[in-house]
Structure 1
Amino acid sequence: MKKPLLILVLFVFAFGLRAQNAQEMVDRLKKDLQAKPDAKRIAVIYSDLTWYYSKIDIDSALHYGDKAVIESRKLNDSTLLAQVYSDIGAVYFIKGDFINSKVNYLTAYKVRKLRNDVKGLAKINNNLANIYEKTHQYKQAMAAFVEALSYFESVKDEKNTSITKGNIGLIYLKLKNYPKALQYIGDVVRFQEKNNFTEELCVSCLNLGNVYLQLNDTLQALKYYDKSVKACTAVGNKKGLSSGFNNIASIKTEQKKSKDALAFFEKSKAIREELHSDLDKANFDLNLANEYVSAQQFGKAKKLLLSTQKFYESSGTTEKLQINYKSLINVYAALHQPDSVTYFLDKLVVLDEQLLVNKAEKQAAELETQYQTEKKELQLQKSKAEIALRESEIKKKETQFIIAILISLALLIIIYLVYRQQKLKNKQQQQEFELKSAIAKIETQNKLQEQRLAISRDLHDNIGSQLTFIISSVDNIKYAFDIQNQKLDAKLSGISNFAKSTIIELRDTIWAMNKSEITFEDLQARIHNFIDKAQEAKEDIQFNFEVNPTLKELRFSSVEGMNLYRTIQEAINNSIKYARPQSVAVSILPEAEKVLIRITDDGCGFNRETVLMGNGIQNMEKRIRDIGGTFEIHSEPDKGTAITIMLGIQSQKQQGL
């Protein structure tokens, strides 16, 4: 007998499923590149272009993959680098170049191992296993699946454990070890049936049917193909449904039942032509959203769930809408958005009530129809005894009908009261939690402020007085003794000047520590003092400092404010020390949802490719990166130097509240 083995493999762990039109996304990403985003965004765009081009142009995908690797290495971003190598591995896999696909997956594996990304390693093991399976390296494939299985079992991820066992079962099926395949896939089916994992049963039952077919047990094969068809129909899995019909048709062909075989083949063909329906896309997005929830990628899950919510509401797909609402409740709970949790909890209760009412109305309509039918039959009865008996039955049905309505109403009232009580309880618990959190936060801030004040007093009283003593002692030595040695005199002057400079730095630090928040207006006053001193030292340089009025009240923490102050101070010092400029300008302006800070001079400039960057620039870049901003420096010989700092304005406003 010819064995039809249309195995629907849905056990592949891809890094990310992006179900948007590839060409549209490529066009959009290229448009984003033209907007000249920052370095991090450029690297992400190159990575996304690698993925989307894999669907329409493999050569372009590999071209942008190389660019994404270069940019990720410049940023020293290991997370993004692992993502890029995984994407390139997927491109080579689609191309059929399994050697290069394996090389890139193994590179991503090394990066994630250094980051101790255990979950990411488990997913890469599954991707590597698929390569091994494609190249008939079943031993290596089995080893990779077993390693992934060990992880999922250790974290008690029963669902992914079941999926991985299904993968192992498929390897045994290809190795013709049918008893082992039957054991693994059979366990998967029983687990999924016990937990009502209908979507997974669609695939698992199809694969179990294939095992039984190889064992020449046609009856069991047809039984599980039928279960697969029912499960796929229930969840709207057209790929699984089409494969199930195709396998049944193949058996009918072997049984010489050509009429039945043709009918099933036609069904399979018709469904395959409809695979790209809106419902199929919505179901896929819903499944992907739930996978994001499992991976705790709640932002991505929310976006997909809100999209599918609109489709299910407009199409009236109530079962999927229930799942959608429940998933949204879980997502918003994880995102700590209680108002949204309450909103979708209300919608779920309303939907449940509507479904219950619809069910009651349907039952009532059925009883009413039955009642009317029996009533008409009574009119046809000639026997008074039979009429009396029928009337008794009708009264009984009427009583049952009334009881059913009353029970339905009672259930609705109970559900509403329980929901209302639970809602009030949840609201009270939320308020108590928020109050405790606020009190704890205030207490912590008070303690921190007390500690900062104590430290600043110690610095002022102890370190400040000691430095002042050093300055006084050095000056006394210079005035008390007629020092003829110029080197000694210069050395003493240097010590005095260094101590004075240290006092100024100490005052800046104490100023920052004494403030819980720092605004641009505070920074402006401080920087003006610094510029005034610089003006005294360099009278031939024109200094200009400008802050947009809308940003003066923008608030920062003391650490953020000090980092900004030190960065601007270091930039001006570098211009004075190395650039020999005629003018130095500092401007702070709003740009979209960010703050743009520019420090420019018209000095001699330098060539970044030939000049070794010192610690000063590296320190400035690190200070800005530590407070969530971006730092760029542009310079050309004889054309001056420009330093650009970008800060997110929304996050700073939130920190200031």
Structure 2
Amino acid sequence: MKKGMLLVLLLVVNICSSQNNRIIDSLLQSLKKGSDKQKNLTLINISDEYSNFDLDKAILYADKSLVKAKKLKNDSLIGLSYNAIANNFQYKTELDSALKYHKKALEIRIKIKDSIGLADTYNNLGIFYDTKGEFSNAVKNYFKALYFYEKKQNIAKQAMVCSNIGIVFKAQKEYDKAIIYYRKSYELYSKTTDDFGKTTSAGNLGSILINLKQYEESLKYSVIAKKGYEKLGYERFVGYPLSNIAYVFDSLHNFKMANNKYLECLRLHKKHQNNFEIAEVSGAFANCLIKQKLFNKSIIYSQESLKYSKIAKANLLEINSFKVLALANSKLGNYQKAFQYSELYNLGKDSVFKTQNTKSIFELETKYQTAKKEKLLLEKEAEAKQQNIILITVSLIALFIAIIGLLIYRQQKLKHTQQEQEFELKTAIFQIENQNKLQEQRLNISRDLHDNIGSQLTFIISSVDNVKYAFDIDNKKLDDKLTNISSFAKETIVELRDTIWAMNSNEISFEDLESRINNFIEKAKEAKDEIQFSFETDGDLKATKLTSIEGMNVYRTIQEAVNNAVKYANASSISIDVKRIENQNQITIQDNGIGFDEAAIQKGNGLKNMQKRMEDIGGSFNLESSNLGTLITIWLNN
């Protein structure tokens, strides 16, 4: 009926789909063979089969299973046995006994970390609390079950728990919320081959659609559920969708059909000792009889509902019975009784819904949805100890592995470092050998230049001078020509010495350059004593090294610039400054001569050579000239 398939959704160990007696006979035969563990499981299956029509025998075989499981000292089988006993007591609505065995099953399953078993027990505890009207506890256990089922990706059981959660929301009259979970359950079952689950889910949809006044759709799902149970051979459960069908006809005021269905439903529930359902259907039938103004008959069924509500300890159904009894007695003029039942109804209603209100249910759902996003751990004292032992063991193993790994790593690193050092040493030796060979070649070349070309130039100078002094040369033009040859040869010797100096040096500092340029300037002073020369180098730049090529190019550029100023500028002052500006070295050669027009004068070889020398070593060359003098600026990267 409106309550739906609450107790049907208790987790059972094995679901069958054939004639019960034939299956039980087959199971009893299988007890004669197989291992002790297989026999134990067979006893649980027999208990499950009897739970469909004989709960006392079902409990008997579950007890036998428990005895055997304890002898085997098999915790998994003990948990299954406790679960079977608890389920059968819950079917009988002996809730105190059911709770006792559910807790025993929970304790065992926590101990052995049986995730699915834990979920099964939490689901059954949810049903237990739902039956008692303790909705917050019911939802809390349902969401615990759902967490484990989702973790294990068990779609059928996720569907089952969603259905049970929907039942709680339905009891709180949160029908829009309830149908969300019912439809989710039906969708999940549709992805499985679980015909029993799909049938149950259809019955729940038939129930909730009544509350939403969608009677035609409700009738459709209720008929699907009824036919499903009949096909599966579960007469015990046919009464559930039948009660929904009765309520649909009741709501449509087709009282003749409604009365027949209510009575048929009560017959089935009484046959199978479904005390909770007897109480619920009797209450609904009593309410239907009031609509037909059959008040005395209504009181009879209300009393029956009250009786079975107390047996089943179904507080909410008991309270609803008081309401119907108050109304029926009021209609008959029994106002004193009506008042008494009304007071009992109000008192009970306030008691149940004061602590089990809708807000608390929503809060539990929110907590569950939040908890889903995090890792939920169930830790008990025994589990914590075991985890600590495992953690310590793993830590020690990890530490041992880490130490071994570190030693291997250090050995490999030392080996690698040694190989690198050997390679670097070989490379260094190779470079030194190459440098020595190169230096030797340089020395040979410079020696050849000095001994051969140098001596030849000296011979030329000596020969020219001897010619001049040996012969009285009256021809001035010839005398000047000989003098020029001698001077050129002397200059060439100086240039040759500079080249040899650069070749014999791997590096040239600015201090070396300054010394060399000062020698050159001294000779320039002899030629032009009216010119004032100055050479300034920043102190921190003197130790800065240039390669021999860079040093020689800088030297030649400064030499060319000074020569040009001496020859053409008519200057009285020539200054050379070397500075460091940010990340570059700056060299300026400046005179106060007459300058020249850069646009009018085509660059000669001297200017081109200076610019080319700087570009070759990655520097830059800039020339500025006016009638106040000429400024040459050289930039070198530091």
Pairwise TM-score range, normalised by the shorter structure: 0.3 to 0.5
Higher-RCO chain (CA-CA 8 Å, sequence separation at least 6): 2
TM-score (norm 1): 0.38
TM-score (norm 2): 0.39
